[in-house]
Amino acid sequence: MALLSLIIALLFERYFHTGSSEEREKFSNAGWFVSYQKRLAESFGGQSWFKGWVAEALLILLPVMLFFLLFEAFEDGFISSLIALALAVVILVHCLGPESPRKSLRKYFSDIANEDEQGAYEHAVSFAGKEADDWAQTQRMVSEAIFTETQRRYAAVVIWFVLLGPAGALLYRLLDWYLANNPEGTLSAPLKSIMDWIAGRISALAYLLAGDMASGVAKIKKQFFDLNVGGLELIEATGVAAIGPVLDCDTEQKQKVAENLCALKLTERTGVILFAFVAVMSLVGWTFF
């Protein structure tokens, strides 16, 4: 059922990405989670026990456990299976995205085509969340962000959906939302690091298969099993190395973003490999859902 859920969710993704970003964001925004945090804070904020890992467990793990029990209730029967499938698709669509890196970078590429390097740089900084000193660093910064954002928005969600079912996908997304505003979370930060470490290794293998394996292996062979190397950090290194040599482009504008275009194509090829991974796991019955 994991494979069928993913196929339907990806069809929804394809439909939404042909429209406006605002339409897609309605299905992936964290509004309900923010309201839920405020409600808990209003109810228990004055209690001495409502702090640290206990508060984070209620905020993050309680909704995940409730969804897990809900899916357990729809375990048997044809109608129950259809309901469970529908719920899984809803959760998966909710946790994916809300926007592909290619779509997020449309204005960046448009500015380059129009020779507006300053505008492109501003969009690059907005996308990557950091600054660069020159254009070579800017292009590399964008490439690294393409890999990490693809991992955060799609790959990690799909991997945990396969490994732990819809509850796993929801857990990853709630941790991501919470840590965006609370980066020093007592429980959430180490739990997210563990999930990223595992998902990052799986995605790294897919990048090696999709890209320049020799360069990728040479770059990460000492980092792959290192517990101190985070999942997103490994994805950056693997992705950039697996791009391989970037060919000269026929225009100066394309040359300025050649590595970025290669990075996007590599993430898309890697997505196909991860989809095949889900298919194999489903066929042999190794998926949680």
| Helix extents (H) in 96-116 | 101-104, 106-113
Q: Looking at residues 206-221, what average pLDDT do you find?
A: 94
**Number of H-type helices and E-type strands within the chain:** 17, 0
Structure tokens at 258: 């050649």
C-alpha 158/C-alpha 273 separation (Å) is 12
CA distance 208 to 217: 7
Give the start-to-end residue ranges of the domains of the chain: 2-283
Tens digits of residue pLDDT in 231-268: 999 999 999 999 987 755 666 677 889 999 999 999 99
The tens digit of pLDDT for each residue in 154-177 reads 999 999 999 999 999 999 999 999
Is the pLDDT at 18 greater than 80, yes or no? no
Coil, strand or helix at 175: helix
71-105 tens-digit pLDDT: 888 767 788 888 889 999 999 999 998 889 999 99
Distance CA 141, CA 17 (A): 24
Q: Rounded to an integer, what distance in angstroms lies between the CA atom of residue 236 and that of residue 240?
A: 6
Q: Can you tell me the distance from the alpha carbon of 134 to that of 141, in angstroms, rounded to the nearest whole number?
A: 10
Q: Which of 220, 89, 200, 104 minimizes the C-alpha distance to 152?
A: 200
Kindly report the number of other CB atoms within 10 A of residue 171's CB atom.
25
147, amino acid identity: F
E-state strands within 26-126: none
Q: Closest Cα partner for 85 from 1, 24, 193, 157?
A: 1
